[in-house]
Amino acid sequence: MKIISNEVKKLFNPILLITLVVFIYIYCRGFLQLQYWPQVNTGNPWDTEVHAEMIKIFGPTLSRDEMPEFMEFYNGLVTDFEAEMQKSEIFKNNGIENYKQYCEAKGELRMKDELTDEDSAVDAEINRYTFELMPASELSFKLNELENRLLIDIENGGTFATDETIKNRQRYLDDLNPEMAEMIEKKFRSDETSLLTITPQKVVEDDSLHIVIICSLAVFSAVLFMLITDRLRGIYPIALSSKIGRKIFRIQAAVSGFFGLFAGIASCAIYGAALMNKGAGVFLDCPMDNYYYDMWIKLSYRQYLLIMAAAVIVFSGAAGLLSYIVGRFATNYISGLAVSIPVIVALCGAEFLAAAGLFTAQRVWIHSHYWSSAALPFVITLPICIGTVTAVCLILKHDGRRDIL
């Protein structure tokens, strides 16, 4: 028990843990997409806000039966926007008194090759309402999002489709194989549509890659430091000379793996707290299978976050274990080969989250079945990683265990 306690203290010492947590916190604060929420991956910074408002009114999904209430919500925003427009003397002088006239003027100006002085003044005022860093009214952005996301899509048959509106998507459906076309049409005709906007999903998708990599490299650095310290202190050859001493190696391997798991858990906890602080909590019960993504399994945003966190933790733990195994046998290859393996583990984890991650898992047609892109990392990157680790260990096994230290 004392041996276990001593080995645990090497990695789980207060200074190292505090350094790790502070490092992860600084990294999360300074280098992740979350810092740009909700502007990142979105056409305007208020689309996330208007979807959050709708969720509070309608819940995680909007149904056909709730369309009258939705139109009431939409018309309320139009009324509020028209009240904002009354503050503009330029709109008044040019006869733009309501939202319909505002949209018509915006469309007409886009079609003109040359603008008169009067047109230029109206165009500049419209830009002030829609394109400035501090726009005259954020309501125009919200209205634009609701129109593009729902009203236009309903008209085109992409949401709440009927026999009449589905004709607008028939050309698209005809380009698919019959089984997939049936699946997509069923989605178009669904009586519910998710109110999850793209930002909460894409931010986590992008950031998870960086979290996996930074966790793997941080764990590798800590484990390698422990191994080098042991060798400088002469523990390695002493432990190697006896059967009891060699038990230390198994204990160290387990501790390294648990340290990796701890780093992954700490990263997910810090990131999760920051994510909820941004307001992502309102989207937790929204289904992921929505306008933007056709998921290969049915998930809610809450389940998606848990799966992503589990993937980060598992790969972080694997990085701790593999970095110890390779570092343990690396001897005079520490400065070279031992560095490469944890990086491969990190990239393998990143590849898993990038190519699959259970987010943009679009269905592809292979041998009459739907297969998620989630399978690709396991088929390609994981065997490469395992093969590389095996090859390096075989090389080191025949190296005579010469220690550079």
Residue 284 pLDDT level (bands cut at 50, 70, 90): very high
Mean pLDDT over each residue of the chain, to the nearest integer: 77
pLDDT at 337 over 80: no
Q: How does strand 369-371 pair with strand 192-194?
A: unpaired
Residues above pLDDT 90, as percent of the chain: 17
What is the model's pLDDT at position 236? 65
Helix (H, G, I), strand (E, B) or coil at 161: coil
Which whole number is the average pLDDT over 3-19?
78
Nearest Cα to Cα of residue 140 among 105, 174, 190: 105
Give the start-to-end residue ranges of the domains of the chain.
Answer: 2-31+196-397, 47-155
Please state the φ and ψ torsions of residue 293, each to the nearest 5 degrees.
-130, 140
Task: Please state, in angstroms and rounded to a whole number, the distance separating the CA atoms of residues 271 and 302.
Answer: 14
Asked whether the bond before 377 is cis by omega within 30 degrees of 0, the reply is no
Please state the φ and ψ torsions of residue 189, each to the nearest 5 degrees.
-90, 0
Please tell me which residue, 160 or 358, carries the higher pLDDT value: 160
pLDDT at 84 over 80: yes
* Secondary structure element (H or E) that encloses residue 164, with its range: none
- Nearest 5°: CA angle at 264, between 261 and 268? 140
Distances (CA, A) of 76 to 71, 83, 139, 180: 8, 11, 10, 39
| pTM, 2 dp | 0.77
- Cβ(302)–Cβ(283) below 8 Å: no
What is the model's pLDDT at position 368? 32
pLDDT at 65 over 90: yes
Distances (CA, A) of 355 to 53, 206, 310, 350: 32, 11, 16, 8
pLDDT tens by residue, 301-323? 998 899 888 888 988 888 888 77
On the CB side of 92, CA atoms within 13 Å amount to 7
Residue 169 pLDDT level (bands cut at 50, 70, 90): confident
pLDDT at 269 over 80: yes
Task: Please state, in angstroms and rounded to a whole number, the distance separating the CA atoms of residues 1 and 8.
Answer: 11
- Cβ(79)–Cβ(63) below 8 Å: no
Positive or negative, the CA dihedral 183, 189, 195, 199 is: positive
What is the model's pLDDT at position 130? 82
Q: Is 96 exposed, middle or buried (0-12, 13-18, 19+ CB in 10 A)?
A: buried
pLDDT at 73 over 90: yes
Extract the tokens encoding 40. Answer: 């990142």
pLDDT at 289 over 80: no
